Amino acid sequence: MELDLTGMHKLAAEQGIDPGTLDEALAEALRLAYLKTPHAAKHARVELDERAGSFTVWAADEIPVEPTEDDPHPAPKLGEEYDDTPHDFGRLAAATARQVITQLFRRAEDEKVFGAFSGQKGKLITGVIQQDVSDSSNVHVAMGDVEAILPRREQVPGERYRHGERIRVYVVNVARGVRGPEIVVSRSHPELVRKLFEREVPELVSGAVSIMAIAREAGARTKIAVKANTEGVNPKGALIGPGGARVRAVMENLGPEKIDIVDYSDDPAKFVAAALSPAVATGVQVISEKNKTAIAFIHDDQLSLAIGKEGQNARLAAKLTGWKIGIESAEAHAKKVAAEQAAQEAQHQTAAAQSEQGE
């Protein structure tokens, strides 16, 4: 049966498809197509001949084998192969070939996309929002000829995504899917903030400054802990930039979201105190390093600032440090300490008086 294998190989080569891969897929597809024809043999294989520009279906019939005591249910043997290419197989063969080539081309294109984007995982990319009324929960983001998905779970509460709008997103994952590469991006991921700062702050790229931790409630507030790796560099100043230009550039990509930049410290007490910024802690008592629990003491007029609206500031400070932070009034704590000291002094005086009487 005629089949233009040479032309198919040329098309495959243009798409970077190995001829052997094409032949294997084509032979199997033709075999399956043959098995669906009337009176097809159960056992068959397809032989391709590029030089002749044809293919042949070789079939073999089963030959029963007499049972024996050792093998009461023997498997049948296959007889000699014979040419069983259907005479009216031409149109079906051509359609099968087109389908195989289309599938291989699509697969090759998918592999190109996957290869191009697999290295983009964990990076910041810019895309254009595409409206899709059939998929209202997810937002489609076009990046050239490729579309990524911004799932609802990765969206920022209250953020609106308008068709045609350019948007910066963080690539969460690139995987092979049933319908081709699946690229998942995020607007709510904490690492999005890191990547935005890396665009604006040369000291982060050079390593002079490091972002040690990020805690984020997307759309509301983010806390970032930074430290300097080079003497003489102000880490907070590096991220804020001259006149606040750098941090403003980042915030322009985050809408109304606020950003707190604090100093990182290996000393848990100092780190906890810094994390509660903009409130100022008068002191921090480490309760248990093993359980990472501490109490921060805050002046009464700053208690609400330390806790934040609906507990947000305290919650983000805990996420940033990895510690459970209790917040207490500095004035109430001072009174408590003074009362305890007074009680202890009274006990000492009573004990001393009793000792004198005993003498």
- The dihedral over CA atoms of 224, 230, 233, 235, expressed in degrees to the nearest 10, equals 0
Task: Verify that 313 and 329 share a domain, yes or no.
Answer: yes
CA nearest neighbour of 142 among 120, 119, 107, 169: 169
Phi, psi of 164 (to 5 degrees): 90, -5
Residue 68, domain member (yes or no): no
Q: Tell me: the pLDDT tens digits for 95-152?
A: 887 888 888 787 777 777 777 777 788 999 999 998 754 566 899 999 877 888 999 9
Considering the domain architecture, whether residues 9 and 106 belong to the same structural domain is answered as yes
DSSP-assigned letter for residue 266: S
CATH number of the CATH domain containing 167: 2.40.50.140
For 33, the domain range is: 5-61+78-118
Is 14 found in the same domain as 106?
yes
Does residue 101 share a domain with residue 23?
yes
In a domain, 315, yes or no: yes
Q: Is residue 359 in some structural domain?
A: no
| Average pLDDT of the residues of the chain | 88
Cβ neighbours for 59, distance < 8 A, ≥ 6 positions apart? 40, 41, 43, 44, 81, 82, 83, 84
Compute the distance between CA of residue 127 and CA of residue 183 in angstroms, rounded to an integer: 12
Q: Are residues 110 and 95 in the same domain?
A: yes
Domain-terminating residue out of 264, 292, 317: 264
Q: What percent of the chain has pLDDT over 70?
A: 95
Structural domains of the chain, count: 4
**b/e code 159-168 from CB counts within 10 Å (16+ = b):** bebeeeeebb
- Check whether 54 has a pLDDT greater than 60: yes
Q: Is residue 69 part of a domain?
A: no
The tokens describing 290, both together, are 């093993």
* Helix ranges (DSSP H) in the chain: 5-14, 19-35, 90-118, 190-200, 202-206, 235-240, 245-251, 268-275, 303-307, 312-321, 330-358
Which CATH number do you get for residue 24? 3.30.1480.10
**pLDDT per residue as tens digits for the range 243-294:** 999 999 999 999 899 999 999 999 999 999 999 999 999 999 999 999 999 9
230 band by pLDDT with thresholds 50, 70 and 90: very high
Residue 71 in any domain: the answer is no
Tell me: do 103 and 130 sit in the same domain.
Answer: no
Cβ neighbours of 64 (radius 10 Å): 9
Instruction: Please check whether residues 110 and 142 belong to one and the same domain.
Output: no
User: Does a structural domain hold residue 70?
Assistant: no
Percent of the chain scored above 90 by pLDDT? 53
CATH number of the domain at 233, please: 3.30.300.20
Residue 284 lies in a domain: yes
Supply the pLDDT for residue 132.
59
* Ramachandran area for residue 103 (φ above 0: left; ψ -120 to 50: alpha; else beta): alpha
pTM above 0.75, yes or no: no
Claim to verify: residue 226 and residue 302 sit in the same structural domain: no
The confidence score (pLDDT) of residue 8 equals: 82
CB atoms within 10 A of CB 312: 15
pLDDT for res 23: 85
| Whether residue 104 sits in one domain with residue 87 | yes
Q: Considering the domain boundaries, does residue 196 fall inside one? A: yes
Shared domain check, 106 and 26: yes
